[in-house]
Structure 1
Amino acid sequence: MELSSRLRLIFSNPASKLVSKLALKLLLLIAVLFTTYSSSNPPPVKKTVVIPLNNWSSQRVISNAIGQILQTHKYPVEYRNINSQDQWGAMARGLVHFQIEVWEPSMDEETRSFVSKKRILDLGSHSAKAVEDWWYPEYVAKLCPGLPDWRALNRCAALFAAENSDKGSYYTGPWNYRDPELIRSLDLNFTIVRLDEAKSIWRQLHKAMANQQPIVILNWSPNWTDARIPGEFIRFPAYHPSCESDPGWGVNPNKAYDCANKKNAWIKKYAWPKLEQQLPCVYQFIAQIDLSSEMISEAAALVDYDGFSDEKAAGFWLQKYSAQVQQWSKNSCIAHQTTPDT
């Protein structure tokens, strides 16, 4: 008997018709259940890692480098430009997830407050130690005898002055230092020129250097100048905690803040408190990162002296420090997971 004839015979049988109807209903039920399950249990969505970008080059380059590492491990990464003052509230709310480069002299007060309220998490210090203070390029010492002693500043104030001014100009950025208090306490004949970002400071420095003109700026170490331009920090009276709180301490018996910023200060990492829960392998990886002074200064130099973009500099930086990066990855679960944190 031909196949078509056999099929007609089967489906003309009442029992076969019943079986066919039951089978069809079963298939429809399975389809409905599968659709319902799929819509209520969608595939896990990979969490985007949000990395803040501040307004100095080493932080931007190293943050870009970390983002590139995370992307190789299949993490979606978003970079968010944000100033250092606003990032703590954003981090507390999970709008950014970690900050890789936090400097004690300019950020300790705010971070201490957020940590004490458990709004951000301290992930520990880097090996690198920080200095942030007044600085001049090496050639200026010949123009102002007595430097780096701070008392030479007033004797040379006119050399550092803008046109039609008898006060020296001190170029700084948007960060929270106690320079106004320092100027008043030490009776310095200087005025503050506050610029919007680090690159604006470096433009002033390059302009002065091109003409061998005297200039004094806010600088920090580790920074690109360590690797590319010799210079020296002004030697103010040595820092002591009492300098900030006791007017009777120091060279001015009536005013506080008559001292330098703290030397050998920490550089730390901070994170969103829920990072360990939400992105455990990212948390482990960031906790493992340990930056040396050379690594930070080289990151800045690639942009501020060599002229590369943040992204291009990050690639060169990763090549130069690949051994360190591999070690950080090896010591965290980021290197061993089969799928990213979800």
Structure 2
Amino acid sequence: MLITIFFFPAFAKASVPESKDPIRIILNNWTSQIVMAKIYGKILEAKGYEVEYKELTTKDQWARLHRGLEHVQVEVWEGTMAEDLERVRAKGQIVEVSDHDAKTREEWWYPSYVEELCPGLPDWKALKKCASLFSDSTTAPRGRYVAGPWEKPEKARIRALEMDFTVRPVKQADDLWVELEKSYQKKEPIVLFNWSPNWVEDRFEGKFIEFPNYSAECETNPAWGVNSERIHDCGNPKDGWLKKVAWVKMEQTWPCAYGVLSDMNFTNAMISKVSALVDADGMTYDQAADRWLKENHSLQNSWGQHSCGK
């Protein structure tokens, strides 16, 4: 009697999509996050997955990821989300999938032509000496710092570093770029809040101000730093991480989709460029995602190869 024994390799991959359940991808309220989410979603749709999008604030997203109501967040910033991520991750229902190569930063920023008017930049001491160059009719003789609409300890930093500046916040984020464009066209000095990655660095040359290096003690211990009587005498953290996170059961439910997410990787320049398609060129989020996918066919095809098979 002939007995035939078949051996099936343990690593055989399930057919894609592994589940008919939709993969729900979070959309936040800024361009790069939305476009990258759309890029990821379109890659999955091309593989046969059902994809849904859910608009959520950065605060509301964590509970829904924790409960498995949403499954993916493609752009988690260290500077604004680290505490919430750690709190929810500790409960065991969210995983950190991998980091992008992009590094994050939020800081005072100026266009490069200002260096001709204020030698010594980007050092903060040079900015301090040149404060009057940045004044306008509402702040003269003090310099004007154009702040974002968010609550940040800018006034405390100005006091601690004894800088002759007045904070002038805008009402919404896009107003920052209106102010930048006005000054840029006339080559007038301006210093404003900016962040990276951001579309601005794809279209405007400029640099962040280099304040004293950040330390957690800067926020709590007056004795630390250049001013022994005040806190906040330092800059913001540099080289923050940018992560992708997912619902803890995503890998076992959709291994291929999880592998694509793990391999998906953007640099600062890549994020800046794709964001500029929307914020500078007026494309829709979907149009920008489609443009990127068309121009980066080989790269996107390399994402998830190990997990998705042929």
Under TM normalisation by the shorter chain, which class is it?
0.7 to 0.9
Pair 1:196 & 2:176 matched: no
Q: Distance in 1 between matches of 2:52 and 2:171?
A: 27
Q: Which moved more, 1:259-268 or 1:208-217?
A: 208-217
Shift of 1:177: 5.1
| Matching residue of 2:40 | 66
State the SS of the aligned residue for 1:332: helix
Distance in 1, Cα, partners of 2:134 & 2:38: 37
- Aligned twin of 1:301: 276
Does the 8 Å contact 2:25/2:71 carry over to 1?
Answer: yes
State the one-letter code of the partner of 1:126: H
| Aligned partner letter, 1:193 | P
**SS of the counterpart of 2:102?**
strand
Question: Partner of 1:257 in structure 2?
Answer: 232
1:131 maps onto 2:129 in alignment:
no
Residue in 2 that maps onto 1:291: 266
Corresponding residue number in structure 2 for 1:266: 241
Shift of 1:192: 4.8
Structure 1 counterpart of 2:87, which letter?
A: S
Q: Which moved more, 1:315-324 or 1:162-171?
A: 162-171
Counterpart in the other structure of 2:13: none
Say which of 200, 204, 224 aligns to 1:225. 200
| Structure 2 unaligned spans of 5+ | 1-17
Tell me the residue number matched to 1:87.
Answer: 61
Distance 2:37 2:57 in 1: 14
Residue 127 of structure 1, CA deviation: 2.0
Letter in 2 for 1:114: V
Matches within 5 A, 1:315-330: 315-330=290-305
The change in CA–CA distance for 1:105 and 1:76 in structure 2 (over 3 A counts) is same
Q: Distance in 2 between matches of 1:49 and 1:310?
A: 19
Identify the residue that residue 49 of structure 2 maps to in structure 1: 75
Cα pair 1:106 1:177 within 8 Å, conserved: no
Separation in structure 2 between the aligned mates of residue 328 and residue 236 of structure 1, nearest angstrom: 38
Give the SS at the match of 1:248.
coil
Q: Count the aligned residue pairs.
A: 291
2:101 and 2:267 in contact (8 A); partners too? yes
Query: 1:183 & 1:261 partners in 2: Cα distance?
Result: 13
* Equivalent residue for 1:103, pick from 61, 74, 77: 77
Which one has a larger percent helix, Structure 1 or Structure 2?
Answer: 1
* 2:206 aligned with 1:235: no
Q: 1:55 aligns with which of 14, 29, 42?
A: 29
Q: State the partner residue of 1:28.
A: none
Q: Deviations over 1:161-213 (max 9, x none)?
A: 4543345443344567543443343233231515434x343233223222333
Q: TM-score, normalised by structure 2?
A: 0.81
Going from structure 1 to structure 2, the CA distance change for 1:328 and 1:246 (only over 3 Å counts) comes to: same
Distance in 1 (alpha carbons) for counterparts of 2:81 and 2:91? 16
For residue 181 of structure 2, what is the aligned residue in structure 1? 206
1:171 aligns with 2:141: no
What are the superposed Cα offsets for residues 12-65 of structure 1, whole Å, 9 maximum, x if unpaired? xxxxxxxxxxxxxxxxxxxxxxxxxxxxxxxx9832222222233222211111
Q: What do residues 106-141 of structure 1 show as CA deviations (whole Å, max 9, x unaligned)? A: 322222222223353211212222222111111222
Matched letter for residue 267 of structure 1: L
Matches of 2:196 and 2:74, distance apart in 1: 16
Q: Distance in 1 between matches of 2:59 and 2:149?
A: 10
Code of the residue aligned with 2:172 in structure 1: it is D
Q: CA deviation at 1:236?
A: 0.3
> Could you list the runs of 5+ residues in structure 1 that have no partner in the other structure?
1-43, 337-342
Query: Matches of 2:243 and 2:82 in 1, distance apart?
Result: 10
RMSD of aligned Cα (Å): 2.7
Q: Distance between the aligned counterparts of 1:139 and 1:176, measured in 2?
A: 29
